[in-house]
Amino acid sequence: MEIDILRETLNVIKKDPGVNQAALKNCEKTVIIDALKNSYSLSKLCKRMNISRSSYYYQESLIHAEDKYNQLRDRITELFHKNYDAYGYRKIHMLLKRDGITVSEKVIRRLMKQCDLVVKRTRRRKYNSYKGEISPAAPNLLKRNFHSDKPNEKWITDITEFSIKAGKVYLSPVIDCLDGMPVSWTIGTSPNAELANDMIKEAISTLKPNEKPIIHSDRGCHYRWPEWIQIVTDAGLTRSMSKKGCSPDNSACEGFFGHLKNEMFYGYNWDDYSISEFIKELNDYINWYCTSRIKSTLGGFSPLEYRRRIGVGV
C-alpha cells in the first residue's frame, strides 16, 4: 500500500513521491484514495492518508458534482479561438456581457487558465524603410497626439514586413486616429513606391470634398518620393513626419502592427502557405479587425460598430 500510494502521488496528482503527504490537500488525498480503493479497504486508506471518512465523502461529492461552469467554459473557449486567440479575460468578459451572461472577470480568468487559453505575445525586429534624407522632411504636426474626435482628421501610415517560407510580404495601411480603423491598405511582395501610392490613392477616394486630413508617417523613402508628395498635395492633405529614428512619434501605427502580428502571425506555422494564401489570411484579419475586433478604448465595440453608434457614415 505504501508503494502504491507513492506511485499514485506521482501518476495521479503529478507530485514528487517524496512530498510531505500530510501537507496534501484533502481533494488530492481523495484522488489518491479513489485510485486505490479497489485494492485496499477505504478505512485503511483514510487512516494512512490522515483524512476522515466524512471529509473523504465530501470531497468525493465535489469531484463528481456537475460542473456548473461547463457550458461557460465551452463558450469562453469558442470566443477565444473565434477571435484569433487574441482576447484576454477582460475582452472575453465584454463579449459574454453582450450575450447576457453575467459572471465576474475573476471567474473568467480562472476558467481561461484551466483551459490554457493564453494570448501569445512576441516581439520581433521592425522593418525599416529609411533610405536617407532623399527630400526635405515635413514637420511633425501631430507631436504624438493621436487623439481625434472626428473621422478623417488625422491619418497615420507605415509599412511592415512579414517573412514566411514562401517569401516576404509587405503591408501598407492608412489608419484613422478616430478609432484605429484601417481606411485602406495594400499588400504586396515588394516595398516599392506603388505599394504606398496605391494605398494613399484608395484612402483619398473615400474622402468627402471638405475632408483634408493630416497624413503622418515616419521618414521612410516611400513618403519622400516626388510621386507620393504630388498625390498628397493634389488631394489637399497635409504631410507630417516623425523625427528620424523615433518610433514613439508614430506609436499608434506601431501599435496596430503589434496587435496584428501578435494575434495572427507570431506563434503560427506558415510554412505550408503560399504567398497568395498568406495574403488572403492577412486580408481576412484586417477585415475582422475593422468589423469585429472589440477595443476597450471604444467601449467594447469594434471600429465599425463604434462609428455606427456615434452616427458616422462608413
pLDDT tens digits along 30-40: 988 988 999 99
Banded model confidence at residue 221, pLDDT cuts 50, 70, 90 = confident
Least confident of 23-32, 75-84, 214-223: 23-32
pLDDT tens digits along 87-102: 999 999 999 999 899 9
Residue with the larger pLDDT of the pair 280 and 18:
280
Residue with the larger pLDDT of the pair 121 and 263:
263
Q: Is the pLDDT of residue 134 over 90?
A: no
Which of 48-52, 122-126, 164-168 tops mean pLDDT? Answer: 164-168
Percentage with pLDDT > 90 across the chain: 64
Helices 2-11 and 42-49 pack at an angle, to 10 degrees, of 70
How high does pLDDT run on average in the chain?
89
Q: Could you please report the per-residue DSSP string of the chain?
A: -HHHHHHHHHHTS---TTS-GGGS-HHHHHHHHHHHTTTS-HHHHHHHHT--HHHHHHHHHHHHS--TTHHHHHHHHHHHHHTTT---HHHHHHHHHHTT----HHHHHHHHHHTT--------PPP-------SPPPP-SSTT----SSTTSEEEE--EEEEETTEEEEEEEEEETTT--EEEEEEESS--HHHHHHHHHHHHTT--TT---EEEE-S-GGGTSHHHHHHHHHTT-EEEEPPTT-GGGGHHHHHHHHHHIIIIITTS--TT--HHHHHHHHHHHHHHHHHT--BGGGTSB-HHHHHHHTT---
The residue-averaged pLDDT of 148-163 equals 94
Q: Is the pLDDT of residue 239 over 60?
A: yes
What does the pLDDT read at residue 291?
95
Whether the CB-CB separation of 294 and 302 falls below 8 Å is answered with yes
pLDDT tens digits along 44-80: 999 989 999 999 999 888 877 667 788 899 999 999 9
Total Cβ atoms within 10 A of residue 244: 11
Q: Is the pLDDT of residue 16 over 80?
A: no
Q: Which residues pair with 222 in a beta bridge?
A: none
